[in-house]
Amino acid sequence: MTPNSSGVQFPTDSAGNRSSGRLAKQVVADALATVDPAAGDRVHKIKDWRKGYIQPFTELVSAGVADAAAWDGVARAALDSLQSRMVGVHEVDGQMVETPMTDYLAVVPSRSTPGTETVHGTAAPATELSIPYRGEELSGAMLRARLDTWVDAGVIEPSCADALRLVQDNPEWLSLPGRAMLVLGLGSEMGPAARLLRWGADVLGVDLPSSPVWDRFREQAAGFAGRLHFPTDADGRPGIDLLTQLPELAAWARSAAPAPLTVGSYFYADGGTHVQLSSAADALVVDLLKDGTADALAYLATPMDTFVVPADVRRASDAALAARKATDVKKIVGALTGQKVFHRNYEKGHGPAVHDALVPQQGPNYTLAKRVQRWRATTAFADGHTVSVNVAPATDTRSVTKNKILAATYKGAHAFGIEIFEPATSSALLAALLVHDLNVGRPDVGVQWEHESHGAASGGLWRQPYLPRTALPVAALLGTVKR
């Protein structure tokens, strides 16, 4: 976008340039300053942000391990910094003006309310939970057995398996009775829309007018039991742009909602656009929660991030590390490199630990965009709203396969006990976890980070013995050879 483009934008600097890196440093520094002013100052001194972003993003998580107030304070400070700096560019009396995203939807009216097209499914609603896996559709005893296998291998957490078994026992939950799902990013490979529609839910789908998703979902209607609603322009064409039509989207959500909404953020974009989308979506959810149009939020957390994990996860990883034989190649290489390769996953100690799976290949824009969602999940949860936030397994999506390094890493990850999921498996599993969260309600947690760690499906990253950043380069090498 050019500096004068309308819609959600990064702030300008003194030279009139819009920089995602400059914004990210300001947001992270402001958030860190609430718990450690010196750490906040250090962020401003980082010269190469792309190489230096990992440590401060990790510090933002480690600050709240034992301090619930710090966890909540970091989230609120970060969101306030982000949304007071990000702007919505709009026209007033023929002039382009900028309004902070904190005020954008209150100041900028919708030019019109989009129409609605509804696709009615004709299939019978699902009567049991099933999840596709390697060419099979697992349900009943086969699904329970697979869950046990995943837990034993450390691929999913026991709480994840428990949640899925509970959905199996309550198939009437699958259609999300009494609520509707607003899906931001209808075409997402990881999103829940297709599964929810098969299960009989009401889904409001949002994606770009240029997306091929509209025809695809129309063509799949015979396999749906639910209803899909999507916005249309004056000529009946589907789609809406979250960045340039945010007021119109808010107006449409209010007019089209057949029941209280759960707003789910499943979009993806390259580079800074992902941050812009997260800012726009955050403004939208705050606006829809304010008047009760929405009563719940849903997010997916990438496993390639930093989380606090329970003590039993640390113990399992430590046990795997201790079980290595003296002749283990990884142990020998680790010693020879001073642990620069195959460094232990968690520092020595007891109790909850910080799991750091950030890798430079993801980049600071992706990390910031996903943290915006986690920060909003934190504050909304603390403010009494129902929030579904689940750690997703590493998945072989298009956004991964187009990155040669990440694609090779995923191909070699099995050598470290990490399972890479197919998109169809991940989306179904995560849709079932969403169903669980919305029907069971708010979990009873002692500290905020437990809300994130509960029900996690890390794919094996959490319980394996090595810090991902020091093992995955070897996985990439193995994946390259495997090609």
User: Could you read off the pLDDT of 10-67 as tens digits, one per residue?
Assistant: 999 888 899 999 999 999 999 999 999 999 999 999 999 999 999 999 999 999 998 9
What pLDDT is recorded for position 359? 85
Q: What is the rounded CA–CA span in Å between residue 337 and residue 343?
A: 9
What pLDDT is recorded for position 151? 98
Report residue 75 CA to chain centroid gap.
15
Q: 10 Å Cβ neighbour count for 120?
A: 10
Q: What is the rounded CA–CA span in Å between residue 191 and residue 49?
A: 30
Reference 245, options 411, 420, 138, 105; nearest CA is 105
What pLDDT is recorded for position 482? 61
In the chain, count H helices and then E strands: 20, 14
132 close to 428: Cβ distance less than 8 angstroms:
yes
What pLDDT is recorded for position 94? 87
What pLDDT is recorded for position 483? 54
Predicted confidence (pLDDT) per residue in 90-144, tens digit? 999 889 999 999 999 999 999 999 999 999 999 999 999 999 999 999 999 999 9
Q: Which residues of the chain have pLDDT under 50?
A: 1-4
What pLDDT is recorded for position 179? 96
What pLDDT is recorded for position 405? 79
360 close to 409: Cβ distance less than 8 angstroms:
no
Strands 386-391 and 294-301 come out as parallel
The letter for the amino acid at 112 is: S
What pLDDT is recorded for position 3? 41
Residues 6+ apart with CB under 8 A from 207: 185, 186, 187, 213, 214, 230, 239, 240
Reference 355, options 392, 307, 393, 319; nearest CA is 307
pTM of the model: 0.95
